[in-house]
Amino acid sequence: MSSGTTRADADSPSAATAPPRSRGNRVEERGIESVPEAERRGRPRELFLVWFSSNMSYLPILLGGSLMMLGLSTWQAVAVLLAGNTFWALVGLLAVSGPSTGSPSAVIMRVLFGVRGNRVIGCGLGWLTAVGFEAINLSITVLAGQALLSEAGIGGSAVSRGVILVLVSVVTFTISVYGYDAILRMSRAITLLLTLSLLVAAVFVAVHAHPGTDGSADAALGPLATALVGFTVVSSGPLSWLSGADYARYLPPTASRRSVAGWTAAGGWLASVFLGLVGVLAGTAVDMTDPMTSMTTLMPAWFHPVFLAAVIVGTLANNVLTSYSSGLLLQGAGVRIRRARAVLLDGVLGGGIALYALVAASFLTALNNILALSVVYMGPIIAIYALDLVLRRNRYGAGELADLRPGGSRPTGVGAAGVSAAGVIAFLAGTLAALLCVNTTLWTGPVSRWLGGADLAAVVGPLVAALGYAALTRTGNARLGRTDRSSDAPREPGAAGTTGSAGTPPVPVVDLRLSAGGLVVIRRTRRSRG
């Protein structure tokens, strides 16, 4: 995209205006760079609201209900729910890389896979997954909206579904364009409303629940195999959040790492577990094949509209966070597109997938397939990211993140072609191992068949990827822990230490700034190779 002002990402909380540019000075946006240290503020505890409110959606309820449909007993389902959500600890760990670099995950993953490798693996697959989850959330919102119209006696035709889908898409993706500040304000506004509404709903569900329910007699698999299939489905929730750094990067570099990780993980975990338990209890009382309609039978008539409205608002909040990060991932994948257009593209693709899901023979079957298959490749990516952060002790060189040239200033192990052999090989090994162990209606791996249908993808994939990455980085003598610490406190372009010294060619990068009018200015700066 050419230089100038664009309606892109209202990322930074303060205003800055670029100096006049000479005519014909055109710079293409190749990614979202770091938020300058002078523009970072806030406290780690603010992350709790962001992650808690965005996960107070209907999806965890669906996941909890699906555990009962698989044929687990109530207490088995609770155990699987708690085990699968332990992956929120990894999401919290990834968030730690945000304050130290000021960069989103789309940029940080360059050191894992290389500039070109990241475009395909980290950003490319991450973006596809985000679009898939956006479609799921849109589908849920449409179902809730249609049920709400039925409560008002309007009925639910195909036309009404289309109208609801368009309206929800417009609201969701409009908020996403305005960036982190808008998301934080939204989180503060809706957290109390959602919490109170869903707590009341939980009470009504608990009154009608039958905790002693055991559906193992109807299970197609044995108890252990069924539990492992459920574990993969539940773990897909936290493993879909590759973007932990995206929201923590607005905090100052002095922010406590333990607090950043803890508040991030706590927000997502608490919301997911609480609503997952509601889904499990609902599954003991009603048929969750048609969850939107069946759950309302557990509540008094006056509360139906309140519950459905809470579902719509909560799912919308989840989609705002997802679409915000998906825009960063698409730009990080090398697509030269303005953020507003990236969000629009997400809306069109997500809406199309949502329409298909709504007319599919079984919505829950389609949902479980998407979730289970996303674990196959997202698990290895997150495992490599987390291990790399630990190995380098959260130290990232400025040159590694800022240089967009495949053969430029690159971290140890990244070849001149812009691909990290260690990261790519470890990812491929982990993904292949997960494919051999996954169990879905679309694909069942040979290891899963040999184990009687047990699904070990969420365990084997990340484990193989992490072990492979550790072995390959040791073999390649990649001294990750000794990376330049200059990025622990990223400097603004033009500040001391950012220009090339004598004999060191400067590296051109692209920076995004928020102008007084709320527009992002893209301009060329010069930064040393780091």
Give every strand in the sheet of 507-514, ordered side by side. Answer: 4-6, 520-527, 507-514
Backbone φ and ψ of 396, nearest 5° = -125, 130
Task: Give the pLDDT of residue 492.
Answer: 34
Closest CA to 1 of 336, 333, 335: 336
Residue 116 to residues 123, 376, 417, 424, 512: CA-CA distances in angstroms? 10, 21, 8, 11, 21
- Give the separation between CA 458 and CA 456, rounded to whole angstroms: 6
Percentage above 90 pLDDT, the chain = 25
Higher per-residue confidence, 91 vs 37: 91
- Could you give all domains of the chain from N- to C-terminal order, each with its CATH number? 4-527 (1.10.4160.10)
Contact 484, 397 (CB under 8 A): yes
DSSP letters, 14-43, are S---PPP--TT---------PPPGGG----
The helix or strand, by DSSP H or E, that contains position 140, with its residue range, turns out to be helix 126-151
- Averaged over 426-455, what is the pLDDT? 92
Task: Give the pLDDT of residue 145.
Answer: 83
Residue 140 to residues 163, 207, 312, 323, 372: CA-CA distances in angstroms? 14, 25, 8, 16, 18
Taking only the tens place, the pLDDT of each residue in 315-368 is: 877 777 777 778 778 877 777 777 667 777 877 787 777 777 666 656 666 666
Task: Give the pLDDT of residue 79.
Answer: 95
Evaluate if residue 494 carries a pLDDT over 60.
no
Evaluate if residue 469 carries a pLDDT over 90.
yes
Sign, Cα dihedral of 500, 504, 510, 511: negative
Task: Give the pLDDT of residue 388.
Answer: 93
Taking only the tens place, the pLDDT of each residue in 273-326 is: 999 999 999 988 888 777 777 788 889 988 988 888 888 888 877 777 777 778
Residue 411 to residues 363, 364, 476, 480: CA-CA distances in angstroms? 44, 43, 12, 9
Q: At what angle do helices 363-391 and 88-95 cross, to 10 degrees?
A: 50
Closest CA to 161 of 292, 55, 342: 292
Evaluate if residue 213 carries a pLDDT over 50.
yes
Closest CA to 469 of 104, 120, 126, 117: 117
Task: Give the pLDDT of residue 140.
Answer: 82
Task: State the greatest distance between any 2 C-alpha atoms of the chain, in Å, as a whole number.
Answer: 75
Evaluate if residue 480 carries a pLDDT over 70.
no
